[in-house]
Structures are given as structure tokens and as C-alpha cells.
Chains A and B, each alone.
Chain A
Amino acid sequence: MHIDKVFKALADPGRRRLLDQLHRENGQTLTALCEHMDMTRQAVTQHLQLLEEANLVAVVWQGREKLHYLNPVPLHEIYERWIGKFERSRLGALRDLKKKLEGDDDDKT
């Protein structure tokens, strides 16, 4: 699952709104999702398709109903790979600064 697809899928306000809708109520049909979107059913279908390809939406068939679920796992991977990583380097910089400032003390003990 390429991370480019996730960022591309998130780059559109309509698709982000669809994810917000699924966050409010998970497991919705296309018809239910269309009710709150000011775009054609066809456009919503296309957006959902892109979200599904990015693995941000998972689909479950229940009888003849296709239910859409928000799948936050790729978002967590982005957090781990991007946000968490930068946070770690900031913590690392603080640690290095502390070491530098306290370095002499370390030598004494």
C-alpha cells in the first residue's frame, strides 16, 4: 500500500469530508453518505473508490448492502513514519543539549 495514495486521497476536501462522515457514523451505505454531500452520486462513488484504493475506507458487504468503514490504520502509519519521527528527533535534540550542558558533571561522577 503506497503512502502516496494515502496523501493523494487526503488532498481533496470532499474526500476528507467523507472520512469525517464515516468518523461520525461508521459503516454507511453510498446512499446515506450522499445525503450529506453536495455532489452527484457518481462523484461520491469516485471519491470512495479512491479512498478504498488508499485503504482509508474498508468495505463490508452485508447482504446486498455495501457498507463503508473508516480505516484509520494508514493514518496511524503516517503518524508513526512522519509525525512520530519528527517528535523523536526533537526529543533527541533536547537530549543532546542536556548532555552538552551537563557533560562536565557526567565526567565528574
Chain B
Amino acid sequence: MTKPSFVYVTYIATTPEKVWQAFVDTDVMRQYWVGPNADCARVNVSDWRPGSQWEHQRLDDARTVDIVGKVVESNPPRRLVFTWARPNEAGDASKHSRVAIDIEPHGDGLVRLTVTHEDLERDPQMLAGISGGWPKVLSNLKTLLETGRVLPHSPPAT
């Protein structure tokens, strides 16, 4: 195991099932996952089975794909692990970083959500983007699950 590059933790007053759904269901994701400039919502598209591909898509007209990867581990509603790469580096496993999402009940109706991102050191540009992105995504997710409030600019569900 390599030393993680980033570890993000948030406590959410919800159930592990709802947090899991927020990471695999695009209808939930589009309500809290925004891009770096809050330009448009993003979703991660996959069937989330181990070995399957996944894509990080912008919800713009072109459905631009910014990140791709492979599902490594999928254990609902507790743990989801996937690789993370630029689309033009999808074929080169040495350029992939790795994300682990751990969802644990924490008592008192709280869930401890931990996002660990490994193997980012060799890509300073990605590292900079990631370090700004995850805190925003996770605090938006917390707000959505605890208050039901969605982002001001999220597109209406279709």
C-alpha cells in the first residue's frame, strides 16, 4: 500500500445506503457534484461492477469526459474503489491514480465518509485540481443529504 496523497473525511447525518447511492446514482450526483468553476454539474457513469469502466462526464451538451477509470472494488454500501486517469492516458496504468470511498456508520445516526486518493504525487497538475475539488464535492454532498438543498445551478432532473 502506498501512502495516500489525500484523505478527506466528513460526518453526515444520514444512512450508509444513501451515501452509497449518492456515489453511484447520476440523478443524485448531478445535484451536488460541480466542476472546478461551478460551471456545470458532473456525473460519474458506470454500472459500478468490479472490472467495469467508469467516466466522469460534464453535464454539458457535449457530455465532455474529463476523467476515466476502472472499478476495482464495489462493496455496497461500504466501499467503492476505482482508478482515476485522463482519457488520453487511460491505456497507461502507470499514470492512473486510485480513489477509495469508505462509508462507515458512526453511531448517533451519523455516517463517516472517507475519500482517500492515492498515487497522485507524480502528477502535480492533477494533484492541484483534486485538492480543490473533493472538499467542495463532499461538503455539497453533506448539505444535500442533511438538508435536501441542491446546488443553485444544478440542471433540472430529466
Contacts and interface: CB of A to CB of B under 8 A. Distances in A.
Chain B's interface size range is 20 to 34
Contact of B139 (A26, A60, A73): A73
A71 B6 CA distance: 8
B1 A62 contact: yes
A1 B9 CA distance: 11
A58 B9 contact: yes
B10 A55 contact: yes
Contacts of B4: 27, 60, 67, 69
- What's the dominant secondary structure at chain A's contact region? mixed
Contacts of B8: 58, 71-73
Given A60-B116, A80-B143, A75 B135 contact: yes
Interface residues of A, number: 17
A76 interface: yes
B33 to A, nearest CB: 14
Nearest to B11: A1
A6 to B, nearest CB: 12
Interface of A: 1, 26-27, 55, 58, 60, 62, 67, 69, 71-77, 80
Sorted from nearest, which 9 A-B pairs have the closest CB atoms?
Answer: A69-B7, A76-B135, A58-B7, A58-B9, A76-B139, A72-B135, A1-B11, A73-B10, A77-B139
